[in-house]
Amino acid sequence: MDTPASTAGNVVIVCVDTLRTAYIGAYGNDWIQTPNLDRFAQQSVRFTHAHPECLPTIPTRRTLHSGRRAFPFNDYHPVPWDNVYIPGWQPMSPDEGTMAEALVQKGYHTGFFGDVPHYFVPGMNFIRGFRQWAYIRGQAEDRYRAAAHADPAQVARYLGNESRIRAHLVNVQPDQPEENWPTARTFRAAIEFIEQNRNNQPFYLYVDSFSPHETWEAPIHYYDLYGRREDREPVCLNLPYASLDHYPEYENRIESVKVNYAGMVTMVDTWFGRLVDTLDRLRLKDRTLVIFLSDHGTNFADNAERIMGKPADYMYPGTMCIPLLVRHPAGAGAGTTSDEFVYTTDVPATVSAAGDTTPVGGIDGQSLLPLIEGTRGFASRDYLTCRYGNSVWYKDHRTWFFSDVDFETPHVFDLEIDPSCRHNIASRASDRIEEAKNRILDDAGGSLLNYTRMATTDALGRPEFSDSRQ
């Protein structure tokens, strides 16, 4: 029996990996070129307090695809075919419904195009409900090409871990034309989906770009926008997830890394602009809800402890603040901002409301449509919580807090006088620590599991974990 067609409009979600809010013009950046995102922001509602409810890559995607909070990771089990073992990093459960499955039941044609390698590890189950999908290979994290064949003469141009350098050279091939980069191919696949399905509406399109995630090496013409070629080498593909104080050899490479990162941001902006232009050219703008966001950011030693990358135990704003732009098909709220506290879980809740459907298991977030349309229905939050690995994070209107799950390493910042989180006041903030702890534990159902990786493996080769409860 044919599924009845929905009267709802199209939905497009574009999620990019590791894009810092502060590196977009619409969010105040004055040196990186993001003209397409800036123009899109003028057509959208820009959320200024958007944050992930869990980290990193895969836990965030579980939330976006299922509509359910991944926090507090009490159901963690490792994946034998992946190389990342972090609490929350696991497949979509067969008991979890997905937004794509729910929308198919409402008559939507569904498409999923991405180059995030971990999505497509066997058994991850993220493609459930999508009628069309494609994994765009070619990122450095693609472990299925023989990195041993990388050119030794090229390896010498880079700084850092040799195995990662080889994987980068084999997969990314930096000298290739921009059109062959995974970013371009991912967005071209999405654009093709739109063109093919312009008369097959409604459709639900989910696009996931690994860029600007490391490894950081932009096509040379993007690097040229922000830096001098004589400063480019040795190319530093990624930064240690630690304090720069412990890695002085990276001190003089930070600026070049930021240049490559900026170039990749502009590349993402270019191709996102082409996708949006396709919707507008095909006269789908007034029939399509478009949402743009990132899963998390990263750090360039620009915080109190000079932390680089995104280590779980240092949840600074560089990691935790994400862009979120929502363009309404009727133009509601265009060019405005919202200062409400919002989660990544609110994205699938918004899609659920727009598509008039709910996945099996329900929705944990809130639809953003009332905020966009100026109607009632969004319950303002007093605080937010998040988990990343064995660390937790909390934010309210005056406090930024992070710690290990045992609450033995508290970092506390007064947002009213220190919005950049430069001065840890934990030694004199016992009341704030207690409030954050109580609210985190309340959101977690009363306790948190602390996972410790053991030296043993199970029958499938997965590392075994012991856990204790806080």
CATH superfamily of 10-373: Alkaline Phosphatase, subunit A (3.40.720.10)
What pLDDT was estimated at residue 463?
A: 80
- Least-confidence region, from 16-20, 138-142, 348-352, 370-374: 138-142
CA distance 252 to 101: 49
Residue whose pair of structure tokens reads 């400063």 in the numeric block = 231
Q: What is the DSSP letter of 462?
A: P
With contact defined as beta carbons under 8 Å apart, do 325 and 47 qualify? yes
| Cβ count near 459 (within 10 Å) | 6
At 431-454, the pLDDT tens digits run 999 999 999 999 999 999 999 988
What pLDDT was estimated at residue 2?
A: 39
pLDDT at 6 over 70: no
What is the residue-averaged pLDDT of the chain?
93
Stretch 48-64: mean pLDDT, rounded? Answer: 97
Of the candidates 404, 436, 444, the residue with the CA atom closest to the CA atom of residue 311: 404
At 89-120, the pLDDT tens digits run 999 888 889 999 999 999 999 999 999 999 98
Sorted by where each begins, the domain ranges of the chain are: 10-373, 390-470
What distances in angstroms separate CA 39 from CA 25, 259, 294, 324, one per listed residue? 10, 23, 17, 14
Confidence of residue 7 (pLDDT cuts 50, 70, 90): very low
